[in-house]
């Protein structure tokens, strides 16, 4: 995949992970991720329904929080990484981390999530 395509998919990824509207989020998930998307974060899961449920639960537990990209995307050979932040408007970088993606057939095939949670939350 070309660098521009990867950057576009990752930008959409952050939009999806901040979308509290279940129907628009599910529609975007179907366009963005492969049917058997593998996510490894606090625990491992795969499939579109599971990623939607995970995002929905995460956002419902943190109603003021949103995701944002912190660094430019670095990519090569259908693999990319980017640093991000997640927090409320008063502290948008309350939680930070890094995502590592693999891409296949124009979609995100896997997502590895590394968290760096600030102390004293």
Q: Which fold has domain 3-117?
A: Nuclear Transport Factor 2; Chain: A, (3.10.450)
pTM of the predicted structure, to 2 decimals: 0.92
Sign of CA dihedral 52, 54, 60, 65: negative
- The model's pLDDT over 38-61, given as tens digits with 9 standing for 90+, comes to 999 888 999 999 999 999 999 999
- The model's pLDDT over 64-100, given as tens digits with 9 standing for 90+, comes to 999 999 999 999 999 999 999 999 999 999 999 999 9
pLDDT of residue 120: 46
Annotated domain spans of the chain: 3-117
pLDDT of residue 118: 64
Integer Cα distance of 73 and 75 in angstroms: 6
For residue 16, which of 92, 80, 84 has the smallest C-alpha distance? 84
């Amino acid at each position: 995949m070309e660098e521009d395509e990867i950057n576009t998919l990752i930008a959409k990824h952050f939009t999806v992970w901040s979308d509290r509207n279940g129907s628009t989020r599910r529609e975007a998930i179907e366009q963005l991720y492969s049917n058997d998307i593998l996510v490894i974060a606090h625990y491992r899961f795969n499939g579109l329904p599971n990623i939607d449920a995970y995002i929905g639960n995460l956002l419902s537990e943190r109603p003021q929080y949103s995701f944002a990209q912190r660094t430019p995307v670095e990519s090569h050979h259908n693999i990319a990484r980017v640093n991000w932040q997640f927090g409320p408007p008063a502290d948008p970088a309350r939680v930070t981390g890094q995502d590592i993606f693999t891409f296949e057939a124009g979609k995100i095939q896997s997502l590895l999530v590394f968290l760096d949670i600030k102390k004293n939350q």
